[in-house]
Every structure is written in C-alpha cells, then in structure tokens.
Amino acid sequence: MQRLAPALREDGVPLDLISLIKTILAACKEISFRVGQGQMSGVMGSTLDENIQGEVQKRLDVVANQLFKDITLESGFVRAISSEEEDTSVPGNPNGKYIVSFDPLDGSSNIDINSLIGTIFSIMEVDEDADPSDPNIFMQPGTSQVCAGYVLYGPSTMLAMTTGNGTHFYTLDRTHGSFMRTERNVQIEPETSEFAVNMSNQRFWHEPMKNYIDDLVAGSDGPRGRNFNMRWIAAMVGDVHRVLVRGGIFAYPADTKSADKPYKLRLMYEANPMSFLVEQAGGLSVTSTGRIMEMEPSGIHQRVEVILGAKKEVEKCLSYYK
Ligand code: F6P
Ligand code: MN
C-alpha cells in the first residue's frame, strides 16, 4: 500500500515525527522525575544482572529502559527499537514509520554519586516492507537519522535536539512539565583550548593520539604554544553538552587495553546521535579514518572510536594520523 505524504509543520518536520519526539520526551520527563527523587525513588544501586556488553546493570538503567521502551512502542509510530540494555532489537507496530535507537541512561557510573547522567536517542525511517523483528533494519548510516538528541538530567533537565535544521537547546520547565526552547542554533567555536579524554588510558592509545595529547599537555612549553585545560565528566552526555555550550574537543580513542574491545562508545545510540548534534552545531565528529555518520553499521551494539568537537581542533588531531 502506498504511504500517504505526511503532514508537514511549517519548518518541514513531519507531524508524525513531532508526535514521536513528544512521546520520547514524555518518557524522559518520567526518567527525570525518578532521577530527581534520588535515593527516595527506590531505583538506586545495582541489579545482579549484566547487560549484553557485560556491564553490571544499575536499577535506574533497567527502569529507564523499561519506561522508554514501553512508551515508544505503545505510541504506534515505531516499527522497532534498539537499546543499550536490550540484547537485540524489539519489534513494535508493523506499520510504524520510524525506528529508535537509544541509550536509556548514559553515564551510569555517575548514578550513585548524584552526578550527570542522561538519555541519548536517534530516530531513522524504515522502508515500508521492513520486518519489525529483523535487527538489520537498523543497519543504516548516521546520515539517515531524521532526528537525534539527548536529555541531560543535571541541576536542570535539558534537551539538545536536531532534526537536521540546526541544534537547539530546551529546558524542562518543572512547573508546567514542558520543554521550552532556550537556545536556537547552538554553534561550537572552531578553535578551543579545552580537551576531554580519559587520561588513564594513555599508555594503551596508538602513537598518533599519544603524541597529540602529549602536545596539548605540554601547553605553552610545547609545539602548540599555549596551555590547554582538561575536563572529564565520564558521561558522554555531560562532556558533549559542555562541548556544545563552550567548545572543546572530546575523544574516546582506540586503545589496546583489552584485545577484543578496541573501542568503548557505541555507534548507533551514542556516536551517531552525538555526531548529528555536533555537525549541526558546526563541529566535526570522526574516527581516525573518516566521518562517523558515514559508517555502514554492522551490528546494533557496534563500538567505534570517537573524536568530536571544535572543527579546527579535530582537524589538528587528525593531522597526527597522517
Ligand atoms: O556509555 C559509556 C560511557 O559511560 C560514556 O558515557 C562515557 O563517555 C564513557 O563511557 C566513560 O568512560 P570511562 O569509564 O573510561 O571514563
Ligand atoms: Mn552510554
């Protein structure tokens, strides 16, 4: 059956996509509420289980995943979802036009210390005849995303979102329960003097990254001729948010720490949505060999090297690999 052309909002975003986004935000508001209740919510601490990636699941991971999954699948807009906390994709409405990949609670190691955590999501369209039970319907490059965003559960709850028409910030107005747009067309300054990387992995990095970071740390005594500051929140949502707000470069480079896991971050629900947000804000998001959003994925939990942020600084970092 031929699909009818979707109703369009003035800025070109289809109304059914807006409805799906509202559904996703309803789940995030509920997660925000539970996070805000802290130890009174009964969802702090760890479960006895591990997820597909072999990481111990926090109770809040499980609760956030269940909330996000139930609300999006019930909406009717979604053909299937895939999540960091689900072994494989989960089928939804066979007529749903969209698929959603998400990390229900990014930065879980911050839960117990009452520090920054968030939800990351990525939305793509599927072919009309796509089988809702087939995980391969997710195997599309990041350039196919029609919307990406994260909700940061910080001192205030903030949404960063793009539908391909700039990256915008919204703040949750707790009195009315709605996200108000608080900044349009966020732009990342092309130059920066701030970097974010887990320095404890330095001895496991490949030579180009070791040399690049050595030169940043050498500051005004080294070839860069100026000092660089370092920040590491250990939640990608927090670190990318800082890069969007005040600039910087963020990297989770390849390392040789464990032979079977050269990369840490996940392509479908971490790197791709963050890349879309960063590129829409004028930044770059790459691996040491190419643009992240052009990668052809091979699995829903695939991991990838990530270098993103200020355009000129990312280019500088890449020059060490040449
Ligand atoms: O989801 C993975 C993640 O928690 C990211 O949010 C974060 O950037 C990174 O891992 C932190 O890694 P590490 O534990 O090495 O600091
Ligand atoms: Mn994560």
**From residue 113, how far is each of 107, 151, 264 by CA, in Å?**
11, 19, 22
pTM over 0.85: yes
Which residue's structure tokens are 């910087």? 248
Q: Name beta bridge partners: 306.
A: 252
CA of 273 to the centre of ligand 2 (A): 12
By residue range, what is the domain housing residue 97? 2-183
Ligand nearest to the CA of 85: 2
**From residue 116, how far is each of 45, 103, 108, 111, 137 by CA, in Å?**
16, 14, 9, 8, 32
DSSP per position, 48-111: EEE-TTSPEEEHHHHHHHHHHHHHHHHTS-EEEEEETTSSS-EE--TT--EEEEEEEEETGGGG
CATH of the domain at 127: 3.30.540.10
Q: Is the pLDDT of residue 2 over 60?
A: no
Please give the residue that has the higher pLDDT: either 112 or 164: 164
- 150 and 6 co-located in one domain: yes
> At 6, is the pLDDT very low, low, confident or very high (cuts 50, 70, 90)?
low
Residue 40 DSSP label: G
Q: Is the pLDDT of residue 4 over 90?
A: no
3-state secondary structure of 145: strand
CA of 104 to the centre of ligand 2 (A): 8
Which residue's structure tokens are 């906390």? 85
Please tell me the predicted confidence (pLDDT) of residue 12: 86
Compute the average pLDDT of residues 52-70.
86
pLDDT in tens, 119-164: 999 999 999 999 999 999 999 999 999 999 999 999 999 999 999 9
pLDDT in tens, 277-316: 999 999 999 999 999 999 999 999 999 999 999 999 999 9
Q: Which one of 65, 106, 258 would you pick to mutate in the ligand 1 pocket, going by the greatest count of ligand atoms within 8 A of its CB?
A: 106
Q: Is the pLDDT of residue 7 over 90?
A: no
Q: Name beta bridge partners: 10.
A: none
157 part of a folded domain: yes
CA–CA gap between residue 178 and residue 63 (Å, rounded) = 22
Ligand nearest to the CA of 269: 2
Please tell me the predicted confidence (pLDDT) of residue 1: 45
189 part of a folded domain: no
105 lines ligand 1 (CB under 6 A): no
Number of structural domains (the chain) is 2
- 212 and 124 co-located in one domain: no
Compute the average pLDDT of residues 231-250.
98
Which of 183, 217, 249 is where one domain is finished?
183
- 139 and 214 co-located in one domain: no
